[in-house]
């Protein structure tokens, strides 16, 4: 599949139904993983079918040389062979890593309304790699906001070439092209995209992103998506993106009048540089531009994010309308937004579709700064991406 073709391509309880979204969502630092998977029984025939059914049911499979009947088995729904899996851990092909796999097959609910979901877990000598296939939840930022916090962080680099995906040395994701088939139904044009993502564990924000590890994960998600599409009957494939990816992000030396490199956006008092003050900004044109400041244990003290791709911006559409009691004022056709103590957001209606501008803090202690920054951030970023002029007014805190 060419890059241009790619372009065409709860946990709710009953008591949640009448609770506003912003009150029932978990804090953004609560990272409970949501897989949404539904295991199903594998109906098989013959000895080979029985073995395959056991593997898909979650039995561990050890890949080693001369490993008997499992020597030629493949992992993660058949996408990875033994060498592929070992290379993810050892960083080279032909590795001898003892890799075990357990997985839940990719399935859909009967109506197809919730999209496909599945999970694969690879382990080797105490290390773990988690692979998930799932449709992103449009209620807030992918999956209760956990997915966006991890997979839209500033450490990730866009895959480029029109692909809706990103990669770093610890995480990577890629959306299945809509045409084959990234949405559960043709009528579900407002649903979130189906993505396959890979996570290798802890992220050390003090380190720069390793290019070789990043490229391995980028190739891995492309392989996974290509295999998914083949299983769906698609004939095209996505090419290796690593030759066209930008360089990994580098830590930014901010100026006082250019927070996150945004000219005219002043750095508020208390957000100056210190031992944890290094700022990381996404490099390269892509679906998202994220600035993470003062990251500690995965969590930035402040995140400024522009979600440019309409397929991702729709993840914030509902929240932009009912996320808080203080709505942002704008022109009749400009969009919707809100401010609250820990967040400011505006979803603009641009020529290319919806675009989300977001500022998030790790606590509510900086509400005045968010109210000051949001209008300037929206105006500057709208001009950068060709969506301006865009002027919003934030209500005074009551």
pLDDT score, position 70: 34
Region of residue 73 (left: phi > 0; alpha: psi -120 to 50; beta: else)? beta
**E strand segments, the chain:** 61-63, 99-108, 116-124, 127-135, 157-158, 165-167, 171-175, 194-199, 251-252, 279-281, 288-296, 299-307, 326-327, 335-340, 343-350, 353-361
Comparing 12 with 312, the larger pLDDT belongs to 312
Is pLDDT of 323 > 50?
yes
pLDDT score, position 182: 61
Q: Residue 51's CB: how many other CB atoms inside 10 A?
A: 16
CA distance 255 to 272: 10
Please enumerate in sequence order all residues whose Cβ is within 8 A of that of 255, keeping only pairs 6 or more positions apart, or say none.
Answer: none
pTM as predicted: 0.78
Query: pLDDT (tens digit, 9 = 90+) per residue, 112-133?
Result: 556 789 999 999 988 999 999 9
User: Taking residues 369-390, what's their average pLDDT?
Assistant: 93
What three-state secondary structure class fits 393? strand
Query: pLDDT (tens digit, 9 = 90+) per residue, 132-173?
Result: 999 988 766 555 567 888 899 999 999 998 899 999 999 999
> Where are the alpha helices (H) located in the chain, listed in sequence order?
3-8, 21-24, 46-56, 82-90, 146-151, 211-231, 310-313, 317-322, 367-385
| Mean predicted lDDT score pLDDT of the chain | 76
Q: What is the DSSP letter of 181?
A: I
Contact 394/371 with Cβ under 8 angstroms?
Answer: yes
What three-state secondary structure class fits 331? coil
Comparing 109 with 249, the larger pLDDT belongs to 249
Comparing 374 with 98, the larger pLDDT belongs to 374
pLDDT score, position 253: 83
What three-state secondary structure class fits 124? strand
pLDDT score, position 164: 95
pLDDT score, position 245: 94
User: Taking residues 184-196, what's their average pLDDT?
Assistant: 68
Quickly state the pLDDT bin for 109 (edges 50, 70, 90): low
Is pLDDT of 186 > 50?
no
Measured CA angle at 384 (ends 378, 386), to 5 deg: 95
User: Taking residues 174-192, what's their average pLDDT?
Assistant: 68
Is pLDDT of 59 > 50?
no
CA distance 292 to 305: 9
Is pLDDT of 355 > 90?
yes
pLDDT score, position 371: 92
Comparing 21 with 319, the larger pLDDT belongs to 319
Determine phi and psi for 234, rounding to 5 degrees.
-75, 150
Comparing 303 with 17, the larger pLDDT belongs to 303
Query: pLDDT (tens digit, 9 = 90+) per residue, 38-51?
Result: 333 233 333 333 33
Is pLDDT of 35 > 50?
no
CA-atom Rg of the chain in angstroms:
22
CA distance 229 to 174: 12
> Where are the alpha helices (H) located in 141-292, listed in sequence order?
146-151, 211-231
């Amino acid at each position: 599949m060419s890059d241009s073709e790619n372009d065409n391509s709860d946990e709710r309880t009953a008591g949640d139904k009448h609770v506003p979204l912003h009150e029932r969502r978990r804090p953004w630092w609560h990272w409970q993983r949501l897989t949404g998977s539904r295991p199903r029984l594998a109906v098989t025939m013959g000895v080979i079918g029985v073995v395959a059914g056991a593997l898909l049911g979650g039995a561990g499979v050890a890949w080693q040389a001369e490993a008997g009947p499992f020597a030629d088995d493949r992992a993660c729904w058949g996408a990875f062979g033994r060498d592929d899996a070992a290379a993810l851990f050892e960083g080279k092909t032909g590795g001898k890593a003892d890799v075990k796999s357990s997985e839940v097959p990719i399935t859909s609910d009967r109506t197809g309304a919730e999209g496909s979901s599945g999970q694969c877990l690879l382990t080797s000598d105490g290390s773990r790699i988690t692979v998930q296939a799932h449709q992103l939840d449009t209620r807030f930022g992918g999956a209760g906001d956990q997915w966006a916090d991890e997979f839209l962080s500033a450490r990730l680099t866009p895959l480029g070439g029109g692909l809706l995906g990103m990669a770093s040395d610890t995480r990577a994701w890629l959306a299945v092209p809509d045409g084959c088939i990234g949405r559960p139904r043709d009528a579900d044009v407002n649903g979130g995209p189906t993505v396959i993502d890979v996570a290798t564990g802890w992220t050390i924000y003090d380190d720069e992103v390793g290019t070789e590890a990043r490229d391995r994960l980028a190739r891995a998600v492309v392989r996974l998506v290509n295999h998914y599409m083949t299983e769906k009957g698609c004939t095209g494939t996505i090419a290796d993106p690593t030759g066209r990816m930008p360089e990994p992000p580098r830590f930014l030396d901010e100026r006082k009048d250019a927070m996150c490199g945004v000219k005219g956006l002043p750095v508020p008092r208390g957000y100056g540089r210190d031992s944890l003050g290094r700022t990381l900004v996404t490099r390269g044109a892509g679906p998202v531009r994220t600035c993470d400041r003062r990251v500690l244990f995965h969590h930035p003290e402040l995140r400024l994010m522009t979600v440019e791709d309409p397929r991702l911006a729709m993840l914030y559409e509902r929240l932009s309308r009912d996320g808080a009691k203080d709505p942002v004022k704008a022109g009749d056709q400009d969009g919707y937004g809100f401010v609250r103590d820990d967040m400011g957001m505006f979803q603009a209606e641009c020529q290319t579709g919806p675009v989300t501008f977001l500022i998030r803090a790790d606590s509510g202690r900086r509400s005045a700064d968010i109210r000051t920054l949001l209008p300037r951030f929206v105006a500057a970023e709208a001009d950068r991406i060709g969506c301006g002029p865009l002027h919003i007014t934030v209500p005074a805190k009551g």
